[in-house]
Every structure is written in structure tokens, then in C-alpha cells.
Amino acid sequence: MITFFNTLTRKKEIFQPIEDKIVKIYTCGPTVYDFAHIGNFRAYIFEDILHRFLEYEGFTVKRVMNITDIDDKTIIGALKENISLNQFTEKYIEAFFEDIKKLRIKTDNIIFSRATENIPEMVNLIKTLLEKGHAYKKENSIYFRISSFPEYGRLSHFDFSKIKTGTSVDADEYEKESARDFVLWKGEKDDFSWDTEIGKGRPGWHIECSAMGMKYLGETFDMHTGGVDNIFPHHENEIAQCEMATGKPFVKYWLHCQHLMVNGEKMSKSKGNFYTLRDLLKKGYDPVAIRYLLMSTHYRDPLNFTEKSLQQAKNTVDRWNDFYRRIKFLNIDERKNEQISQQCIKTENIFRESLGDDLNISMALAGIFELMHSTNNSITENNINRENLEEISKIIEKVDYVLQVLKPFEDSIDAEILTLIEKREQARKEKDFSQADKIRSILQEKGIILEDTPLGPRWKQKK
Ligand code: AMP
Ligand code: ZN
């Protein structure tokens, strides 16, 4: 059984996709007016874990992520640099794909679609709303009539019954207090407009995602995701316009992740309290550690970013990889440890049950750490064999489809060093300390620094 917390009902619900074993997901993607910051990547990593976990569970995932290449911010940017919109957004789109690759966010089985490539679909949707009387023209722009949709506020759980009808708002982003009839089509103001059946102009942000979602996933689909800042007005408006256009429910499950914070405030461009991935890589941080930090707190809990916590994440990722190398290269074949075999099965069950419980990542990780501890104890006690080690590496590799923390290793160097490390461990076990010291100095000569940790010996190459 899999459950997810649905923002719509504010409850954990049993997950049952509309079509058996196929899950259709729409993800609000980046607005490409600048480099994405790691707050944005918290959202994309949460969605990546969701996507990968559903695949792990045997679902076929059909997913769409939009690239918002037309909105107030991209236009301001292009105007400032006096270049075309495409020229302006191209470099940020390219950077986005470079960044997600570094963070091991998957791109296969995802349709990435730019708003500017879907203008006819947006125009059609607006035409339907006009024909059905749920939208109206005012000057050159077109607005959605909120009074058409009595359920407005269903997602954000806000009572909008007292808002003044007939007044409108042109901005794409605004507070609940300024909720008005929102803009679907912005009448021509600058060079960035399309000449269409509904007039010259350009789409508002909300209609972009709705048109792209329905184009690729159908009028009703399973999941829509984003950060909590997307709930209002963006997703609230999407529900209103789609359901009034089609007469059908739009999305079954709405999942939103909490923000990445800095000193108690949302990390955001406008506050200036942000780090891009590039900033952190330049400082020498490891992208896998950044991924680990951003994923290891439950997606519905706020996460405060500090460089210290990034350092801790780096240590965990290193230990994880050292453990994996150790069991891959360990030359030990004592008796089979049935308890370890049982624990391997249990660890995978814990992993699946925990992530199936609204993506409880802390529980899923705790199960793996426990297996690492027991394995190291069994190695120390010579109570393990090759078959056990293979069972353990299989689990570590399997869950890595979702987690993505294992790093490729350079086999020859690693194998030589690991053999020496294990020989030293063996000598220590046999209390042959002079042999253990001898091996330590050979390793030192090779520039290897050893450290003994509860997860087994760790090694680093001296810089
Ligand atoms: P934007 O490019 O601003 O449209 O944002 C892209 C995605 O990042 C959306 O899903 C936002 O909800 C999400 N997002 C923005 N800031 C943060 C943050 N500080 N923490 C988590 N998610 C965020
Ligand atoms: Zn969106």
C-alpha cells in the first residue's frame, strides 16, 4: 500500500492511479530568467525521488515538466539585454539541464516542454473558457471569472466567498488577500507578443501549465507537484480554469514540498538569500552531497540550509561509498550469517514501506544505516561470507536507483588500496599490530589517510 499526503484533502490518502500501474505526473518547472537556486532544486529532487520510487515499485511514470520561458521576469531580462526572448532564456535552459544532471535528477521518461512551444494549446483553452462564459475580455486582456467557480479556494483552503467580483489582477504572482479575476491572456504591451485568434498578446503563467499538462497527460491526470508557494495562486487557478473548461476533475493528488530556508526565511531570488548550485560547486562542494542534504529531510518539513549541514551530508555520502567499496572488495568468506540475510530482506521491506508512507525518507535511510552497522560488526567478528556480502551490495545498489548516492569507482586503484586496508583489518583482528602498522605506513606512502569509523575504515587520498 502506498499513501501520499494530498494538499487537496489535507490527508494521507491511499494512492491509486487512474489507470492501473501508469502514473501521470505534471511538475511545475523552472522560470528561466536566471540560474536556479538550491531551493528550487529541493523541489526538483523531491519530485525525482517520487518519480524514481514509483518506478521502483513497478509503475510506468509519464511525466511532464514545463520550462517557463515566457513570463514577466523573462521578458524584463530580454528587454534589459536587448536580445530576443529565445536568446535570453537559452543560456538558463542549458544551465538548468547541466545542473540537474550534476544532481542526478533524472531526465528520461520526462517530457520537457517550453511555454513558447505551446501557444496554440493555450489559445484554445482560453477560447473554450470565453465560449463557456467563464472568461471575459477587458481592454486587450482576457481574465478568468472567479465567480464562475464556486469551489475556488478548495486547494489553498482559503475562504474567497467575500472577494469582490469583477475586479481583476494582471500580475502572475500575488497574495491571497489580493485574489481577483486572474489574467489568462495579457494584451500586447511590448514586442513579446503573438498574433492569435484571441488577439495580440501573450499567455499568463497559470494557463501555460494547464495547457501543457492537458496536452500531454489528458484532461484528468494523477498528480501535480511543486513547492508550497505554488499552491496559491498558481495551482488554485489551474484547477479553476481546467475544471471550468472541461467539466471534469483536473488532478487527483496534489503534492507540495516545503521550502528550503535560510535563517528562518524562504530561500528566494527576491530576498537575495540564495545559493545557486554553481556557487556551491565553486566552493568545492560535492553535488552528490548537495542532493543528499536536500533529500534527506522529509519533503513536507522545512529545511534550514547551512554550510555545516552540507559538510555533514558530505561525510555521510563518503561513508556510504566507503562502505560500499569495502563490501565489494572485501576478501572474506567465513560462515554464512543467516541473521544478515534476514536483515537484507527486512531492509528492503523497510525501504519500500517507508517511502510508500508519504515518502518517509528518514525511516528508509535508517534501515540502510542499520544494515551497514550490523555488516561491519559481522566483519569484525568474522561472521560473514561472500554470499552475504553480495546480498548486501545488491540491496545497496537497488535502493540507489532511488537515492543516487553511489559514485563510480576507479577499479584498479580502489582494489589495490582496499585489499591493503582489509589486510590491515585482518592483522588487527589477529592482534598482529606490527603487521597492521606496516600496512598503514605502506598506505601512507601511497598518500592514503586511514580513519576508523563505526561504519568501517575510511580512506582519503591526500591532496
Ligand atoms: P520558480 O522557478 O520560481 O517557478 O520555481 C520552481 C520550483 O521551485 C517551484 O516548484 C517552486 O515551488 C520551487 N521553489 C522555489 N523556491 C523554493 C524554496 N526555497 N524551497 C523549495 N522549493 C522552492
Ligand atoms: Zn506550473
Q: Are the folds of 3-257 and 277-403 the same?
A: no
- Tell me the average pLDDT of the chain: 94
Distance 66 CA to ligand 1 centre (A): 13
What pLDDT does residue 342 have?
98
CATH assignment, 277-403: 1.10.730.10
DSSP labels for 248-284? S--EEEEEEEPPEEETTEE--TTTT---BHHHHHHTT
pLDDT confidence band for 463 (50 / 70 / 90): low
pLDDT tens digits for range 33-45: 999 999 999 999 9
Q: Give the model confidence (pLDDT) of 281-323 as tens digits.
A: 999 999 999 999 999 999 999 999 999 999 999 999 999 999 9
Tens digits of per-residue pLDDT, 165-221?
778 888 888 888 778 899 999 998 877 899 999 999 999 999 999 999 999 999 999
- State yes or no: pLDDT of 137 exceeds 90: yes
pLDDT of 162 reads 76
Question: Hey, what CATH topology would domain 3-257 get?
Answer: Rossmann fold (3.40.50)
Return the domain boundaries, the chain.
3-257, 277-403, 415-461
Ligand 1 atom nearest to CA at 36: 2
Residue with cell 500586447: 188
Q: Are 74 and 208 in contact (CB under 8 A)?
A: no
Dist. CA 37 → ligand 1 center (Å): 8
pLDDT at position 189:
80
Q: Mean pLDDT across the stretch 143-162?
A: 92
Cα separations in angstroms, 111 against 62, 106, 169, 315: 8, 11, 31, 35
How many percent of the chain have pLDDT more than 70?
A: 98
Mean pLDDT, residues 152-156 taken together: 95
| Distance of CA 373 from the midpoint of ligand 1 (Å) | 37
- H/E segment holding residue 449: strand 448-453
Helix axes 386-403, 361-380, angle to 10 degrees: 160
- Residue scoring higher pLDDT (416 or 288): 288
- Interior CA angle at 112 toward 109 and 117, to 5°? 140
Q: Is the CB of 33 under 6 A from ligand 1?
A: no
Q: Which three cell numbers stand for residue 2?
A: 502506498
Mean pLDDT, residues 333-351 taken together: 96
C-alpha cell read off for 83: 536580445
* Prediction pTM value: 0.92
Q: Are 203 and 119 in contact (CB under 8 A)?
A: yes
Instruction: State which of 48, 64, 229 you would mutate to test the pocket of ligand 1, scoring each by most atoms of that ligand within 8 A of its C-beta.
Output: 229
Taking each helix axis from N to C terminus, what angle separates 287-295 and 307-329, rounded to the nearest 10 degrees? 110
**227 CB near ligand 1 (under 6 Å):** yes
